[in-house]
Amino acid sequence: MAFNSYQFLIFFPAVVLLYYAISHRWRWAWLLLASCFFYAAFIPVYLWILFFLITIDFFAALLIERATGHWRKALLGLSVLATCTVLFVFKYYDFFNASFVLLGQKLGLQYSPKVLSIILPLGLSFHTFQSLGYVIDVYRGVVKPERHLGRYALYVMFFPQLVAGPIERAKHLLPQLRKEQIFNSAFVVDGLRLMMWGMFKKVVIADRLALVVNSIYSDPTAFAGPSLVVATVFFAFQIYCDFSGYSDIAVGSARVLGIRLMQNFNCPYFAVSIADFWHRWHISLSTWFRDYVYISLGGNRVGWWRWRINIFITFLLSGLWHGAHSTFVLWGALHGVYYIFSKSILKENCWPRIFKIGCTFMLVGFAWILFRANSLSDAGYIMSHLWKGWGHGLRFGFEAGSIGLGLWEFFLAVGLIGFLITVEYIHEKKNLNLLVSQQPVILRWVIYAACTLVIMNMGIAVPIPFLYFQF
């Protein structure tokens, strides 16, 4: 079930109440049951994929611990192969086949594979990576394998982070699942506050911006430069509010249950360089790639060229992780080029901070075009027409309603972006959560009530799924 659904508004309080009411001995079972129910609300049959992965990796980890020499490596290889096969079949099979068909056509070869057209299991890339990380950590001796199958299953399936992360690490999450969590109202309020802010970002800001982005990106050739720029800037904020909104709700709901999940975002649009951006954006994934791919490739303890190749491969894989489409691969590749270029050539401290923030945002925003465009040709059109058609001024086509929002709604969307930037700016200087919690109780209640009412009445009703659900 989606966080922004009425089902979750009923499900979550019920889970929390019973969680604190029962003995610690049974809490893992209750959370596991709740997580199964949460996942089954999407497509119940896909639970079997999760059970399969959990069983394989649970026993693989136990065997790896006992094995020695080449057996350890072989067992790790088998576990990684099983997980990656599941990922490949469900996510990449059709993409690679379509690529081979294209290649075959170019070479004059006939190749017509069966198209699977499977609906991608929700969050497959997230929980497979979490599972992979666990097995690799056991292999590396970073963590001891979990001996309780149920608790390990909960580590993979813990519902707040099951379908879109954060991609947790075993050494961080497993001990928390073992430990008894005592009800702490300050901790619960902290979690609820985070959930509220996440919901605000998703249903009030992201979904509103999505109306413009979707209408322009669905047929970019019908629009000139100004509209394309608006859509691209809006998308940068849409994807941020959408995904960080999801992460906030995930982290917040886990916190209500007494569990701390890792932070996934840290004001990414205040980044002063591409490297800084990747320290602030989807932190759980970028650190995963750093720890399990980049470092495995040799990291920076290699020669000048090899180091650059390692970075490029890591970004390329990160692009492919996002989606089985050439646009995502190119998006990853572009970030790889940005990263190498910024590390190699640019001196980070020679420009004013605001300039560096602006430049980084523009580079990131430009790359988002590849991420969002429906096809490579659409992306090419948008990239080549951003600068065209400005002669007529800012004609956004409000009169025809062609950009998805009326004039008033459009300026409201711009205002909300301004509001978001202000809040993030304050948060950069001072922890906003702490700031709010230090206010008098009346003021806090006014803030909470106002925010809740705004979500309830200014949220967008058009069903727009969380963007990262597709990965």
Partner 1 sequence: MPKFIIQLGLFVVLVLGLQMCIPSANTDMPDEIKLLDEFLKRGADVIYFGDSTINWDVPSDKSDYNSPQLLQHFLPDRKVARISHSSYQSDIYESYAKYIVQTDKARQIKAVIIPVNMRMFSPQWDRQPGWQFEKEKITLRIKDTLAMKFYKPLEVFKFFEPRLNRFDYENTDVRDTDQVMGKVRDFDNPSYRNFSEENLKNIIRFHYMGAVPPDHRRLKALINAARIFQLAGIEPILYITPLDWETMTKVLGKRAIQQLISNTTVVTKALAENNLAVLDLSLSLHHSEFSWEEDGHGTYFPNEHLRIKGRIFVIAKLLKHTTLNEK
| Residue numbers annotated as active site | 322
In whole angstroms, the minimum distance from the beta carbon of 428 to partner 1 comes to 29
First to last CA, the chain: 16
23 versus 349: smaller Cβ distance to partner 1: 23
107 versus 461: smaller Cβ distance to partner 1: 461
81 versus 443: smaller Cβ distance to partner 1: 443
In whole angstroms, the minimum distance from the beta carbon of 465 to partner 1 comes to 10
> For residue 361, what are its two tokens?
């945002």
Binding of residue 377 to partner 1 (CB under 8 A): no
Which residues are CB-neighbours of 30 under 8 A, at least 6 positions away? 15, 18, 19, 22
Binding of residue 241 to partner 1 (CB under 8 A): no
255 versus 335: smaller Cβ distance to partner 1: 255
Q: By CB under 8 A, how many residues form the interface with partner 1?
A: 27
Provide DSSP, 233-300: HHHHHHHHHHHHHHHHHHHHHHHHTT-PPPP--S-GGG-SSHHHHHHHSSHHHHHHHIIIIITTTTTT
8-27: contacts with partner 1 (CB under 8 A): 9, 20
Please identify which residue in 14, 22, 40, 43 interacts with partner 1, judged by CB under 8 A: 43
In whole angstroms, the minimum distance from the beta carbon of 161 to partner 1 comes to 21
Binding of residue 412 to partner 1 (CB under 8 A): no
How many CA within 13 A on the CB side of residue 412? 17
- CA dihedral 275→279→281→285, nearest 10 degrees, is 110
Asked if residue 440 has a cis previous peptide bond (ω within 30° of 0), the answer is no
188 versus 412: smaller Cβ distance to partner 1: 188
In whole angstroms, the minimum distance from the beta carbon of 433 to partner 1 comes to 18
Please identify which residue in 225, 460, 466, 471 interacts with partner 1, judged by CB under 8 A: 460
Q: CA–CA separation, 197 vs 285, rounded Å?
A: 22
Provide DSSP, 93-136: HHHHHHHHHHHHHHTT----PPP--PPPPTTHHHHHHHHHHHHH
Helix axes 6-21, 225-256, angle to 10 degrees: 20
In whole angstroms, the minimum distance from the beta carbon of 376 to partner 1 comes to 18
In whole angstroms, the minimum distance from the beta carbon of 126 to partner 1 comes to 19
- CA dihedral 121→86→242→399, nearest 10 degrees, is -70
354 versus 441: smaller Cβ distance to partner 1: 441
SS (H, E, C) 14-63: HHHHHHHHCCHHHHHHHHHHHHHHHHHCCCHHHHHHHHHHHHHHHHHHHH
296 versus 374: smaller Cβ distance to partner 1: 374
Burial of residue 312 (CB within 10 Å: 0-12, 13-18, 19+) is: middle
Please identify which residue in 110, 112, 119, 408 interacts with partner 1, judged by CB under 8 A: 119
CB 347 within 8 A of CB 365: no
Q: Which residues of 50-81 are buried (b: 16+ CB within 10 A; e: fewer)?
A: beebbebbbebbbbbbebeeeebeebbeebbe
Binding of residue 436 to partner 1 (CB under 8 A): no
Please identify which residue in 276, 455, 466, 468 interacts with partner 1, judged by CB under 8 A: 455
> For residue 386, what are its two tokens?
């951003």
47 versus 78: smaller Cβ distance to partner 1: 47
In whole angstroms, the minimum distance from the beta carbon of 456 to partner 1 comes to 4
Binding of residue 104 to partner 1 (CB under 8 A): no
Which stretch in 29-37, 130-138, 313-321, 449-457 sits in contact with partner 1 by CB under 8 A? 449-457
Binding of residue 112 to partner 1 (CB under 8 A): no
Which stretch in 234-242, 417-425, 431-439, 443-451 sits in contact with partner 1 by CB under 8 A? 443-451
Binding of residue 408 to partner 1 (CB under 8 A): no
Binding of residue 6 to partner 1 (CB under 8 A): yes
Burial of residue 13 (CB within 10 Å: 0-12, 13-18, 19+) is: exposed
CB count within 10 Å of CB 348 equals: 12
In whole angstroms, the minimum distance from the beta carbon of 8 to partner 1 comes to 8
184 versus 344: smaller Cβ distance to partner 1: 184
Interaction mask 175-214, partner 1, x per CB under 8 A: --------x-x--x--------------x-----------
Binding of residue 68 to partner 1 (CB under 8 A): no
Binding of residue 67 to partner 1 (CB under 8 A): no
Q: CA–CA separation, 434 vs 423, rounded Å?
A: 13
Binding of residue 48 to partner 1 (CB under 8 A): no
Q: CA–CA separation, 404 vs 415, rounded Å?
A: 17
CB 168 within 8 A of CB 419: no
Residues near partner 1 (CB under 8 A) are 2, 4-7, 9, 20, 42-43, 117, 119, 183, 185, 188, 203, 445, 448-449, 452-453, 455-457, 459-461, 463
